[in-house]
Copies of this chain bind each other. A is one copy, B any other.
Amino acid sequence: MTRRTIEAAVAANHELFLQTSDRVEAVLAEHRLTPATAHALWAIDPDQAAPSMKELAGRLYCNAPNLSFVMNQLTNRGLAERSPDPADRRSRVVALTEEGRRVRSAVIEATVALTPLARLSAEDLEQLVSLLGKALDPGEGPA
């Protein structure tokens, strides 16, 4: 009878997400970010290859028009830049500006400080990441 346990796990996961979002909200507002723009900002890791719009939409589980809308806000604020992909000029590649990298760091820093997860020990945290990874890993493919 693991059904009850799964239900509890889903609920706890959702609750953690809501609590974290709630606590970070004020910090996002200081940077004039909304949940949607902050999410996109977080998803663009400057240490990785600049993603295309399509790639990024996949990461954010949103569709192309929505991502265009969100990216317009980030570019208008000078946090991100779009440039055509030389290899395929239909595609546009998204990268953060220096200001974008600064704001992204600040958002992550604040989230790490405010999330209820900050209470857990290093050991517990690694166990948690391992468990979540076990659930997510096999399914991260396209279908």
Q: What residues of chain A have their CB less than 8 Å away from a CB belonging to chain B? A: 2-3, 5-22, 39, 42, 60-61, 108, 111-112, 115-120, 122, 124-129, 131-136, 138-139
Contacts and interface: CB of A to CB of B under 8 A. Distances in A.
B61 A117 contact: no
Task: Give the number of copies in the complex.
Answer: 2
30 contacts: A3-B112, A5-B125, A5-B126, A6-B117, A6-B118, A7-B108, A7-B112, A8-B129, A9-B115, A9-B117, A9-B128, A9-B129, A10-B112, A12-B132, A12-B133, A12-B136, A14-B17, A15-B132, A15-B136, A16-B132, A18-B60, A18-B61, A19-B139, A22-B61, A116-B136, A117-B135, A119-B134, A120-B134, A124-B134, A131-B131
Contacts of A15: 132, 136
Contact of A138 (B2, B119, B132): B119
A127 B131 contact: yes
Contacts of A117: 6, 9-10, 13, 135
Nearest to A115: B10
A140 B10 CA distance: 17
